């Protein structure tokens, strides 16, 4: 379980490897907030290597989305697998996020 952060143009791209759960959510949150504090405003979280997100993980995504918006920034999600897509649809979380099928499309949408 780890997060790698890199810059693609103006966008901070975060890869979530493994799971996003109660045990590692604070790490993701802190990493993204650190970037936000440094002045970054465009964020993309890529879930292509993510198997599972628990409810605490979802909570952190919502909280990050709010905090980024408050600073005039944007958060996009990309590459949710079928299970995660269903989860977002069933819980109506898809209404709270801009979700793209691929990283490229997400990057173009900024």
Partner 1 sequence: MTELASVLAAFYNATQCEAGVWMRLGALDAAPTLEAGTANAPTPSRYPVPAEGAQIVASSDGDVLIAAVPGPRHAWVALGPCLRTDVQLQDFMNFLLPVVTQYLQSALEVEHAANELAERYEEINLLYTISEILGRTVSLDEAAKTILKEVSETVGARRASVLVHDRATNTLQAVAALGVDLASVQPISVDDPCSVSARVFRTQHPMLAEGNEHYCPEESSYRRGAMLSIPIMWTAPPPHGAEPLGVVNLSDRRSGHMFSAGDQKLIAAIATQIGTAIQNTRLVRASVDQQRLAHEMQLAHDLQMKLLPNNTIVAPDAIVAARVVPAESVGGDFYNLFRLGGAKTGVMIGDVSGHGYQAALIMALTMSAAAIHSQTNLDPGDMLHSLFTTLRDELTTTEMFISAFYAVIDPVAQELRYSNTGHPHAFLLSEEHGLERLAASDPPLGMDESRPLTTHRPWRPGKDLLVLFTDGVSDARNRDGERLGEERILNVLREHRHSTPDEILGRAFEVLESHTEGAPRRDDLTIVLVRT
Q: How far apart are CA 31 and CA 90, in angstroms?
A: 28
Using CB under 8 A, which of 4, 30, 49, 55 touches partner 1? 55
Q: Check binding of 36 to partner 1 (CB under 8 A).
A: no
The Cβ-side half-sphere exposure at 90, using a 13 Å CA radius, reads 8
Q: Check binding of 5 to partner 1 (CB under 8 A).
A: no
Residues 66-95, mask of contacts with partner 1 (x by CB under 8 A): ---------------------x--xxxx-x
Q: Check binding of 56 to partner 1 (CB under 8 A).
A: yes
Using CB under 8 A, which of 27, 33, 63, 81 touches partner 1? 63
Quick one: three-class SS letters along the chain?
CEEEEEEECCEEEEEEEEEECCCCHHHHHHHHHHHHHCCCCEEEEECCCEEEECHHHHHHHHHHHHHHHHCCCEEEEECCCHHHHHHHHHCCHHHCCEEECCHHHHHHCC
Smallest gap from residue 28 Cβ to partner 1 (A) = 13
Q: Report the residue number, 4 or 30, with the smaller CB distance to partner 1.
A: 30
Q: Which residues bind partner 1 (CB under 8 A)?
A: 22, 54-56, 58-60, 62-63, 87, 90-93, 95-96
């Amino acid at each position: 379980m780890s997060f790698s952060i890199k810059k693609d143009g103006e966008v901070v791209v975060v890869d979530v490897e493994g799971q996003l759960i109660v045990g590692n959510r604070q790490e993701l949150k802190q990493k993204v907030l650190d970037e936000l504090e440094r002045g970054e405003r465009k964020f993309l979280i890529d879930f292509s290597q993510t198997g599972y997100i628990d409810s605490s993980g979802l909570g952190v995504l919502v909280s990050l989305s709010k905090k980024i918006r408050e600073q005039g920034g944007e958060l996009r999600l990309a590459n949710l697998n079928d299970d995660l897509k269903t989860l977002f649809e069933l819980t109506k979380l898809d209404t709270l996020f801009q979700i793209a099928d691929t990283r490229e499309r997400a990057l173009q949408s900024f």
